[in-house]
Amino acid sequence: MEPRTSCVEWAVVDSDIGPLLLAATDAGLVSVVFHADEKVRGKALEMLAARLGAELVEVPEPIPASSRLAEPVRQFAAYFAGTLRKFDLPLDWSLISGFNRQVLRELNDGVPYGAVVGYGDLAARVGQPGAAQAVGAAMGANPLPVVVPCHRVVESDGGLGGFGGGLETKRVLLALEGVLPQPLF
């Protein structure tokens, strides 16, 4: 298979939930990685290089307007400031396929800001009732968290369920969107 892109631009940006690694190809945003300290960043970049077969190019701060990351960085800042409710970015879905891609696209298109959906309900939406555990696996494989809002998927009994970024990160995102109360301190 030929590489999809000649290079992947990446940068680590600060956010309300810690450092995020953002990466984009010529097709769009391809990866968002939580808790992007040096160790996490190294593993994520190795995976991107191997999976995409592309040169990785770090974008210096401040992010230049000409960068593929300029608009994602702007939209993340607006989201965390509470002024953006829906990301409007080109997305590169090449890191996910099959059932997982189908589930994540349904989540992206069908669960708006401030709403939640159960794992089983999401499975039913893609025509696979009873596949709640597989939906959980798809959430764990989401290469574009926050933008493709896997934090909005919860257990049918109201429990938070799991989250690749950690439950505290999930709580912060759901509080930002008004689903959960803001913490007192």
Catalytic residues: 150
Question: Diameter of the chain by CA atoms?
Answer: 51
Residue 31 has a CB neighbour count (10 Å cut-off) of: 23
Tracing tokens 């210096």 back to the chain, one arrives at 60
Stated length of the chain:
185
Three-class DSSP labels, 28-79: EEEEEECCCCHHHHHHHHHHHHHHHCCEEEECCCCCCCCCCCHHHHHHHHHH
Structure tokens at 33: 């990685």
Contact predicate 13/24, CB 8 Å: no
